[in-house]
A and B are shown apart, each in its own frame.
Chain A
Amino acid sequence: ETGVTQTPRHLVMGMTNKKSLKCEQHLGHNAMYWYKQSAKKPLELMFVYSLEERVENNSVPSRFSPECPNSSHLFLHLHTLQPEDSALYLCASSRTGDIAYGYTFGSGTRLTVV
């Protein structure tokens, strides 16, 4: 499989649930990102991992917890979410330091918190 793969595609969870989003890339990239996109809003950068080290955390609430076990995999662990966290969560990857190419995005996980 090639590109950036995200699972699940859709997720409905209650506010007391714990779930995880998964992202996997087969492009040989070494930087991975989590973005949030609420309805009709711009992309919001949440977390950045470069060479498996978290290099950016944009004031994201602690109910979102990222994990990057290796350069090909990225997780977003979710717990005690709020209804306003319902959004499209997008994973992206790139090569660290190489700005000649843009990001490659996964198809996203559409999350609904009930």
Chain B
Amino acid sequence: RKEVEQDPGPFNVPEGATVAFNCTYSNSASQSFFWYRQDCRKEPKLLMSVYSSGNEDGRFTAQLNRASQYISLLIRDSKLSDSATYLCVVGSYGQNFVFGPGTRLSVLP
């Protein structure tokens, strides 16, 4: 089993749709969790950290379920500019961050 797995995608959704991505991780000792966004041919950029209590930033909501070892990202009212690859990242003390393979989202007009 890979350390971090994500929905394979791609997700093709119309503008205004709500879309959710899931990510699972294998290391139960993991302590920090993030969603990164990577535009085509660009570097990954931090979208948001994921906290145990869940957190929201505008149209984006991140949830963490430690018992089931998964993280989710919900995007409401999708915009064309949300089209990108979304990377799940997991951190554990004493180890490098582990990146998931990414889920590609295309928001269609």
Contact surface of A with B, Cβ cutoff 8 Å: 33, 42-43, 45, 48, 56, 88, 90, 94, 97, 99-100, 102-108, 110
The contact of B49 among A56, A97, A102, by CB within 8 Å, is: A102
Q: A99-B91, A102-B49 are in contact. Are A48 and B41 (CB under 8 A)?
A: no
Per the bound structure, the CA–CA distance linking A69 and B93 in Å amounts to 26
Q: Mark B2-17, 1 if CB is under 8 A from A, else 0.
A: 0000000000000000
Interface presence of B27 (CB below 8 A): no
The contact of A107 among B31, B34, B42, by CB within 8 Å, is: B42
Per the bound structure, the CA–CA distance linking A43 and B46 in Å amounts to 15
User: Using a Cβ–Cβ cut-off of 8 Å, how many residues does chain B contribute to the interface with A?
Assistant: 23
**Which residues does chain A contribute within 8 Å of B44, judged by CB atoms?**
43, 90, 105
Contact surface of B with A, Cβ cutoff 8 Å: 31-32, 34, 36, 41-46, 49, 87, 89, 91-94, 96-97, 99-102
How many A-B pairs fall under 8 Å by CB?
45
Minimum CB distance partner of B2 in chain A: A42
B89 A102 Cβ-Cβ under 8 A: yes
User: Within the complex, what minimum Cβ distance (angstroms) separates B32 from chain A?
Assistant: 4
User: Within the complex, what minimum Cβ distance (angstroms) separates B94 from chain A?
Assistant: 8
B101 A42 Cβ-Cβ under 8 A: yes
User: Within the complex, what minimum Cβ distance (angstroms) separates A28 from chain B?
Assistant: 17
